[in-house]
């Protein structure tokens, strides 16, 4: 466990970008009942934390072979832009669906044929929205085999989905690290920790169990 991953998890808890509520779960758009809610957009309002995130991304990306950095709509767009600026690289972003008017673009920015793109996402849960962006880049003639994210839940279904697309994802922090930090900082009681751990194993049926 890297110190950077622990620091980012703690930062997300401190600014309530991640909220833990095992006794009163949140409801995701998919209908899943979740004891955790993650809104990494809040990091943009905290310059020091925002800077920590971009610094951590630069450490991950500096060994990669790529031409362009791309943000995934919507929350990945600002972090991708900040990273591209820091790395002095071209930038584009991928919409969740094509624009309904004008040029009807799904990809905003220049994508030369064969260009290697690293995509940036704020959060990976099931991985579906990230992989739709991967497909969009590939369909447009670009190459992408890595998605970066601030945080991921560690779902096996996301791992399987990325493997099926022959793509990898690298996250600055994750659910297991977050729980460790939440306990260390006094955010969680031991019985709440058990509930949160069991949710990750089977989120769709967690409430039933």
* pLDDT per residue as tens digits for the range 38-96: 999 999 999 999 999 999 999 999 989 999 999 999 999 999 999 999 999 999 999 98
Structural domain boundaries enclosing 79: 3-205
Q: What are phi and psi for residue 103, nearest 5 degrees?
A: -80, -5
Label residue 207 by pLDDT band (50, 70, 90).
confident
At 101 the pLDDT is 59
Q: Are 100 and 107 in contact (CB under 8 A)?
A: no
State CA 206 to chain mean position distance.
23
89-92's contacts with Cβ under 8 Å and 24+ in sequence apart are: 92/68, 92/117
Average pLDDT of span 159-171: 97
pLDDT in tens, 116-135: 999 999 999 999 999 999 99
Name the nearest CA neighbour of 84 among 57, 122, 123: 57
Residue 171, pLDDT score? 98
Q: What is the CATH number of the domain that holds 197?
A: 3.40.50.2020
- For the stretch 20-52, pLDDT in tens is 999 899 998 878 899 999 999 999 999 999 999
Please state the domain count of the chain: 1
**pTM > 0.85:** yes
Quick check: 182 pLDDT over 90? yes
């Amino acid at each position: 466990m890297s110190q950077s991953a622990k620091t980012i998890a703690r930062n997300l808890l401190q600014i309530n970008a991640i909220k833990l509520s095992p006794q009163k779960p949140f409801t995701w758009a998919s209908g899943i009942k979740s004891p955790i809610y993650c809104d990494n957009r809040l990091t943009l309002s905290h310059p020091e934390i925002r800077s920590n995130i971009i610094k951590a991304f630069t450490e991950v990306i500096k060994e990669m072979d790529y031409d362009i950095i791309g943000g995934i709509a919507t929350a990945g767009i600002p972090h991708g832009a900040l990273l591209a600026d820091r790395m002095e690289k071209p930038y584009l972003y991928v919409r969740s669906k094509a624009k309904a008017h004008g040029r009807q673009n799904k990809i905003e920015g220049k994508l030369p044929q064969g260009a290697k793109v690293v995509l940036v996402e704020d959060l990976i849960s099931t991985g579906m929205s990230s992989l739709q962006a991967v497909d969009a880049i590939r369909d447009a003639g670009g190459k992408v085999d890595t998605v970066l994210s601030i945080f991921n839940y560690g779902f096996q279904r996301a791992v399987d989905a990325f493997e099926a697309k022959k793509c990898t994802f690298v996250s600055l922090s994750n659910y297991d690290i977050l729980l460790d930090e939440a306990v260390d900082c006094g955010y969680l009681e031991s019985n709440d920790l058990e509930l949160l751990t069991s949710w990750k194993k089977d989120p769709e049926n967690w409430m039933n169990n």
